[in-house]
Amino acid sequence: MNGSDLIAPSLIVAVISYLLGSLSFSIIFTKFFEKKDIRTMGSGNAGATNVLRSVGPKAAICTFIFDFLKGVASVLIGKLIFSMMLPSGVLLSEMVQYGTYIAGFSCVFGHMFPIYFGFRGGKGILTTAAIIALIDWRVFLVVIVVFLATFVISKIVSLSSILAAIMYPVGTFLINYFFEYKTGNMPFRFVLVTSVATLCMAAVIVIRHHGNISRILNGTEKKLSIKKHNS
């Protein structure tokens, strides 16, 4: 297997996952329930938290489920395409793992910059959570513990999301180093590649929260509250 073998499956996975990620369900379900654009409501973010606050639980639950499922679907598609298109051999399992990261990053990028909705999307938290859970449940446990602990203390979703995102590459490095590399399951390059990939994803998520960070620092960021609504 050489580098050229990875070009076609990588491009196919990236395009399919980006288009799948571009299905912004917060926009879709808000238009269905309210006939409005969620980006003109509340915080202006196309995400489940804003849907919950601005539209109501039904639309938020639908958004949550479908944003999560598109993350799951993208990882499964990445795994399937890489498994089908790459030649079998000793490196196949490692390369398939890389395919899931390509799929995940592309899906989250599509969620943030959806081609169907003028490239104005959400921040990718739910979709990223689904991707982490499918790629490595151990990393997911680390990330979700950080998220839940922060949320219980602060009641601020954005702060919880930011700290969980920061923990993502840290957890990925530690788990892959000690449980994959040190046990001989994967070479060190796997630790390096996955750590860099998750660091890039975390950086994009944190950057997308720049407005929230400013409000957190000056003490004006809202805590989670639910709008009572008939939808």
For the chain, percent of residues with pLDDT exceeding 90: 89
Residues 6+ apart with CB under 8 A from 118: none
Residue 229 pLDDT grade (very low, low, confident, very high; cuts 50, 70, 90): low
CB 105 within 8 A of CB 45: no
In this prediction, residue 90 carries a pLDDT of 59
Residue 231 predicted with pLDDT over 50: no
- Global confidence as pTM: 0.92
The predicted model gives 168-182 an average pLDDT of 98
Residue 227 predicted with pLDDT over 60: no
CB 26 within 8 A of CB 38: yes
How many whole angstroms separate alpha carbon 33 and alpha carbon 51?
Answer: 11
Q: What is the pLDDT of the chain when averaged over all its residues?
A: 94
How many whole angstroms separate alpha carbon 199 and alpha carbon 73?
Answer: 22
In this prediction, residue 22 carries a pLDDT of 98
Per residue in 21-62, pLDDT tens? 999 999 999 999 999 999 999 989 999 999 999 999 999 999
Per residue in 56-92, pLDDT tens? 999 999 999 999 999 999 999 999 999 999 988 757 8
The predicted model gives 197-214 an average pLDDT of 96
Long-range contacts of 60-69 (CB under 8 A, 24+ apart): 62/25, 62/29, 63/25, 63/26, 63/29, 63/126, 64/126, 66/23, 66/25, 66/28, 66/29, 67/25, 67/26, 67/111, 67/122, 67/126, 67/127, 67/130, 68/126, 68/127, 68/129, 68/130, 69/130
Q: Number of helices and strands (H, E) in the chain? A: 10, 0
Token pair in block for residue 88: 């079998």
Residue 230 predicted with pLDDT over 90: no
How many whole angstroms separate alpha carbon 191 and alpha carbon 62?
Answer: 36
In this prediction, residue 3 carries a pLDDT of 72
Residue 224 pLDDT grade (very low, low, confident, very high; cuts 50, 70, 90): confident
CB 125 within 8 A of CB 47: yes
